Amino acid sequence: MDKKTLTLQYIQPGLLGLMDGSVSTLAPLFAAAFVTQSTHVAFLIGLSAAIGAAISMGFAEALSDTGIHTGRGHPIRRGFITGGMTFLGGILHTLPFMLVNLDHALYLAYLVVGVELVAISYIRYRFFSMNFILSMVQVMVGGLLVLISGVIIGRG
């Protein structure tokens, strides 16, 4: 498989899912953690957000085009890749809320979010020839805006 095919059919749908899962689930997860002060409730909200986002993104990617004209590959495969990576991106920073101590869960989740955002930046750098520092700034700004919105809503 050539690099263009690999990028269009596997890397791009995977990155799309990872970006969505890593960012879109932040606000509900952290809002729930701050509003309820319960790691159990935050975990359930994060899990439901990760699953819901995965299903939504998987279907959106699978139904976006047939792949025939664009060279993006079979839509069902892209849907599974996007959905799976969306779930992964959403569940990774949700797992710390399995801890009983809210402060420990929050600090670990912040760390995991940081690692996710660095990984996204690296993938953009590695496969899409993005400047790594610029990619970090772009990804961090987007992630921080969503995270801050969740914290503000949760504390409001």
Q: What is the pLDDT of residue 143?
A: 87
Q: What is the pLDDT of residue 151?
A: 86
| Average pLDDT for 13-32 | 94
Q: What is the pLDDT of residue 67?
A: 82
In percent, how much of the chain has pLDDT > 70? 100
Enter the pTM of the model.
0.93
In percent, how much of the chain has pLDDT > 90? 85
Residue 49: closest CA among 64, 30, 77: 30
Structure tokens at 96: 């710390």
Model confidence pLDDT, tens digit, residues 128-152: 999 999 999 999 999 889 989 988 9
Domain range enclosing 141 = 3-155
Number of domains the chain is built from: 1
HEC string for the chain: CCHHHHHHHHHHHHHHHHHHHHHHCHHHHHHHHHHHCCHHHHHHHHHHHHHHHHHHHHHHHHHHCCCCCCCCCCHHHHHHHHHHHHHHHHHHCCHHHHCCCHHHHHHHHHHHHHHHHHHHHHHHHHHHCCCHHHHHHHHHHHHHHHHHHHHHHHHC
Q: Is the pLDDT score of 156 beyond 80?
A: no
Model confidence pLDDT, tens digit, residues 69-103: 888 899 999 999 999 999 999 999 999 999 999 99
